[in-house]
């Protein structure tokens, strides 16, 4: 089989689970199979948004982030279930354990997708045979469908896995790029969002082929170093390795400050706590992450230090939410003695696009009240562009001289705890 593999270069798979949350629920309860199923923050009508849905539901026009009431209007027989994240983490763990049977080079990138470098796995079969084995094993042992992309690099493997869903296997070689990718609109390229696509469209770059042939100086002026990276991707070039160690980066965002004097006045302490929460919020915003755990650190004048944290029912990202949760923790755990240091930490971080907010009645009512405004803003953005109106908070400049940051951030993926090194 070794001759089926390149003498130079790599063979990389991108394994992407199909409608993961819905598929897990169907595996757990086979009576749901073949039915229109949506996973949403709250099963009651209007109290949440669709996190994911089955392909049967998608046929009716149901989409991710759609309000439940709208989804039910499109699909009256829609079954709506509340997310069971523990169940999904367990399934994810099983998925990655299966992938590790085929290669030591497995890099999870989210709860339901990952890269596998099978360059040295030729004894197990050809690349296509290995992909078929993985797909069949995931179905046999976990009853979970997936699509797999086979390519010489990460970008092409990711692109290939999106080409055929569900239960697809697609081979995409570098020589295929001009035929299959270049005719597509640039917004369809993995790694290009709406804002970037609009910027590229404004300078005449409409297709992936246009991007592949674009002037590098012009791209760098428009998008910085990322412009050059995107041009490489458009030409099928991606030298990033599959890195199993990437899953071991379990960090957090935190800020702490040593007070100018020992303070026991509650009002003063809460003002400081709010300032720390704002710093954490600004850094989270720049990193585009949400947090599911908030923690506070209290060091008393005798240097006795306590750290307390709270697992939240849904991911948060706003300054108000961070302050509210840290304030609640602080008031519950402060003994009233003078304090010399305070800290706020956000952890269990997920990328913004992965975050799921499970709305309770209170937060739902706040969100629902904003619906007319948000609809108007969306109409303006569609007509005049994404940046026509920005929330004032998003225009805030990062605070200067953050002397007391206790930790930098990466994406904490708690569903991948088993990848941590002992």
Query: How is 221-256 classified by DSSP, letter by letter?
Result: HHHTHHHHHHHHHHTT---PPP-GGGGG----EEEE
Lookup: tokens for 226? 């990322």
Whether 70 is catalytic is no
Q: With contact defined as beta carbons under 8 Å apart, do 378 and 231 qualify?
A: no
Cis preceding linkage at 218, omega within 30: no
Within 8 A by CB and 6+ apart from 136, the residues are none
Lookup: tokens for 142? 């976990």
Q: With contact defined as beta carbons under 8 Å apart, do 79 and 35 qualify?
A: yes
Is 210 part of any known ligand binding site? no
Is 112 part of any known ligand binding site? yes
Which residue among 113, 278, 321, 325 is the active-site one? 113
Tokens 């674009």 sit at which residue?
A: 214
Closest-CA residue to 309 (of 414, 418, 401, 422): 414
Dihedral of the CA atoms 188, 393, 63, 116 (nearest 10)? 50
- Give the catalytic positions in this structure: 113
Binding-site annotation, residues for Mg(2+): 16, 112
């Amino acid at each position: 089989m070794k001759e089926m593999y390149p003498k130079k270069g790599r063979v990389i798979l991108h394994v992407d689970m199909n409608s993961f949350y819905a598929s897990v629920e169907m595996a757990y309860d086979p009576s749901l199979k073949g039915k229109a199923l949506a996973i949403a923050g709250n099963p009651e009508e209007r109290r949440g948004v669709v996190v994911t849905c089955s392909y049967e539901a998608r046929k009716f026009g149901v989409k991710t982030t759609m309000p439940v009431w709208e989804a039910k209007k499109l699909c009256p027989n829609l079954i709506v279930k509340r997310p069971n994240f523990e169940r999904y983490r367990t399934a994810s763990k099983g998925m990655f354990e299966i992938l590790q049977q085929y290669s030591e080079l497995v890099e999870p990138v989210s709860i339901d997708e990952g890269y596998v470098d099978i360059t040295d796995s030729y004894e197990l079969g050809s690349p296509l045979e290995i992909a078929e084995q993985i797909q069949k094993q995931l179905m046999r042992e976990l009853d979970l469908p997936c699509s797999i992309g086979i390519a010489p690099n990460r970008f092409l493997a990711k692109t290939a896995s999106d080409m055929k869903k569900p239960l697809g296997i697609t081979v995409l070689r570098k020589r295929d790029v001009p035929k299959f990718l270049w005719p597509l609109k640039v917004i369809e390229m993995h790694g290009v969002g709406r804002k970037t696509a609009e910027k590229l469209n404004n300078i005449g770059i409409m297709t992936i082929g246009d991007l592949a042939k674009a002037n590098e100086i012009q791209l760098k002026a428009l998008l910085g170093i990322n412009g050059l990276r995107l041009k490489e991707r458009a030409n099928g070039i991606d030298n990033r390795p599959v890195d199993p160690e990437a899953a071991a980066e379990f960090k957090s965002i935190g800020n702490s400050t040593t007070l100018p004097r020992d303070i026991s006045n509650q009002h003063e302490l809460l003002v400081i706590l709010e300032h720390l929460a704002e710093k954490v919020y600004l850094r989270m915003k720049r990193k585009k992450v949400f947090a599911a755990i908030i923690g506070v650190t209290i060091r008393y004048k005798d240097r006795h230090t306590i750290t307390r944290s709270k697992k939240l029912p849904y991911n948060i990202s706003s300054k108000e939410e961070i302050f509210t949760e840290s304030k609640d923790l602080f008031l519950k755990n402060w003994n009233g003695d003078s304090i010399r240091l305070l800290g706020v930490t956000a952890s269990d971080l997920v990328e913004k696009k992965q975050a799921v907010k499970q709305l309770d009645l209170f937060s739902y009512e706040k969100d629902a009240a904003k619906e007319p405004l948000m609809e108007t803003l969306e109409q303006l953005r569609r007509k005049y562009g994404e940046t026509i109106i920005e929330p004032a908070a998003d225009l805030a400049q990062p605070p200067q001289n953050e002397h007391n940051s206790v930790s930098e951030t990466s994406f904490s993926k708690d569903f991948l705890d088993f990848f941590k090194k002992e």
